[in-house]
Amino acid sequence: MTILCVRFQLPPMHEAALPQLLGMLEEFTPVVEALPPDGALVDLRGAERYFGRGVVELASVIRVRALAHHGVDCVIGAGPGPMLARMALREAGIGATRVVPEDPDAVREFLAEQPVAALPGVGSATARTLCEYGLDVIGKVAAAPLSTLQRLTSARAGRELHEKASGIDRGRVVPNAVSRSLATERPFSRDELDSELHRRALLSATEELGTRLRSLEQVCRTLTLTVRYAERSSTTRSRTLKEPTAHSSALTAVAYRMYEALGLQRARVRAIALRAEGLAPAEQASYQLTFDPVDEKVRRIEAAADRARAKFGPHVIVPGRLAA
């Protein structure tokens, strides 16, 4: 047992605490991979030998330290590899570690009755295709001939699917920086038809993302919009920005364009979500200089508003459209 998958129970808008929590994990091992927006993979092979403790004991120590030093609880899954640790995390509860033993028979037993969609890398389209042929659980996929899986998917995808279903985990933990994305969601109290309320939700979301990005001194390169409908379907669109930014008005303009491009007519919308991706340090970013005094004025007002929000709370200054 060597890999932990940890998900911290961070409150909304508290991604700034994640670097400190990753630093706490690095006290056990330098091999820590951040998983956006609130988790991490931890390779404990060296830590088990160094501390003379098993992975379950180390997981308990990690949980206690996260609570004692940061006031954050966590959910932990453990397995022989990253794939199995991620899958174990889905069955874990707060205060307990879900463990998948290293024994091959135990791994097969754990996977056998799991739905095929639970396998990392299996999307909804692939899962639907497999289910149409009766391969609805991982145990059936593992028992299916490799040639059948390759015919249903592709040569490479079928081979990878067969290996994963058989418990062969070729993944590894790759140390990286902190989370590369920030997300926010605006659910409606009822399925909403009014496009004006959709746009207000977008404005609120981009204002929040911009404030959070600036507080973390980050900029984003890509903005992703997800619209969820009453019948539980959804539409997702991504747009790469002309230049990396944390400027709220720039994010709002892009979000509005993506929304308008969907051409929604009388769509009953249940929720709207935005994700800022491709984060990078603001000090390393550049933006096009302009002779427009309005743009510079807006940026100065934005900086002053951020200082006020930091001192008096996030709702002390909001756009007039939202205040109304």
226 phi, psi to nearest 5 deg: -125, 125
The two structure tokens encoding residue 67? 């609570």
Q: Distance between CA atoms of 191 and 267, rounded to whole angstroms? A: 9
Q: Could you report the average pLDDT of every consecutive run of 10 residues in the chain (324 residues)? A: 85 64 89 82 89 90 91 91 91 85 89 88 85 91 91 89 89 72 86 92 92 87 91 86 90 94 88 88 72 73 82 77 72
Write down the pLDDT at residue 303: 83
DSSP, collapsed to helix, strand or coil, labels residue 161 as: helix
Write down the pLDDT at residue 83: 92
Write down the pLDDT at residue 281: 84
The residues near 281 (Cβ < 8 Å, ≥ 6 apart) are 217, 218, 219
Q: Distance between CA atoms of 222 and 269, rounded to whole angstroms? A: 23
DSSP for 217-282, written as a single string: TEEEEEEEEEEEETTS-EEEEEEEEEEEE--HHHHHHHHHHHHHHHT-SS--EEEEEEEEES-EEG
Q: Distance between CA atoms of 147 and 97, rounded to whole angstroms? A: 37
Write down the pLDDT at residue 37: 66
The two structure tokens encoding residue 253? 């303009």
End-to-end CA gap in the chain? 56
Q: Are 43 and 2 in contact (CB under 8 A)?
A: yes
Q: Round the CA-based radius of gyration of the chain to a whole number and report it.
A: 23
Q: Distance between CA atoms of 183 and 177, rounded to whole angstroms? A: 17
The two structure tokens encoding residue 278? 């491709």
Q: Distance between CA atoms of 247 and 220, rounded to whole angstroms? A: 10
Task: Report whether the peptide linkage leading into residue 145 is cis, meaning its omega lies within 30 degrees of zero.
Answer: no
The residues near 258 (Cβ < 8 Å, ≥ 6 apart) are 223, 225, 237, 239
Q: Distance between CA atoms of 173 and 186, rounded to whole angstroms? A: 33
The two beta strands, 74-79 and 97-99, are: parallel
Write down the pLDDT at residue 265: 82
Q: Distance between CA atoms of 205 and 266, rounded to whole angstroms? A: 22
The two beta strands, 32-35 and 97-99, are: unpaired
Write down the pLDDT at residue 162: 92
Please list, residue by residue across 219-258, b when 16 or more beta carbons sit within 10 angstroms of its beta carbon and e when fewer do.
bbbbbbbbbbeeeeeeeeeeeebeebbbbbbbbbebbbeb
Please list, residue by residue across 200-215, b when 16 or more beta carbons sit within 10 angstroms of its beta carbon and e when fewer do.
bbbbbbbbbbbbbbbe
